[in-house]
Amino acid sequence: MRKQWRCFHCDQVFTSRRWAAEHFGADGDMPICKIKAHEGHLVTYIRRLEDDLSRYRTDDSDVMRSIMTLEVEQRQALIRAEEEGYARGVRDMTPIVKDAA
C-alpha cells in the first residue's frame, strides 16, 4: 500500500508527496483548502515562495550560492598570485645563491 496523506480539514487524500506538500505547505500551518481551494495556480505560487523563503533562511538561496562561488574563486586567485610571487622570488634569488658559492 502506498503512503497516503489525508487532510483533516477537507478530507482530501494525497498519494503523491509533491501534491501533499503543496496542499499542506512546508510548515503545515495553513493547508491550501483553508486559503482558497479554487485558485490552484495561486497556491502553487505561494508554495514556491514558501520554498524560496525556507532556502533563504538556511543560506541556500541562489544569491548565497553565487556569493560563495565568487568568494572561493577570489580566494583561489589570491593563493595562485601568492604562489607565483613566491616562485618568482625563489627564481630571482637562485642565481645569487649560486654566484656566492
* Ordered DSSP codes for 37-90: TT-HHHHHHHHHHHHHHHHHHTT-SHHHHHHHHHHHHHHHHHHHHHHHHHHHHH
Rounded to two decimals, what is the model's pTM?
A: 0.39
The boundaries of the domain holding residue 67 are: 61-101
Give the span between the Cα atoms of 80 and 97, in whole angstroms. Answer: 25
Q: What is the pLDDT of residues 30-42, one digit of tens each?
A: 787 877 655 667 7
Same domain, 15 and 55: yes
Q: Which residue is it, cell 520554498?
A: 51
Same domain, 36 and 13: yes
Same domain, 54 and 79: no
Same domain, 40 and 23: yes
Same domain, 42 and 6: yes
Q: How confident is the model at residue 81 (pLDDT cuts 50, 70, 90)?
A: very high
3-state secondary structure of 91: helix
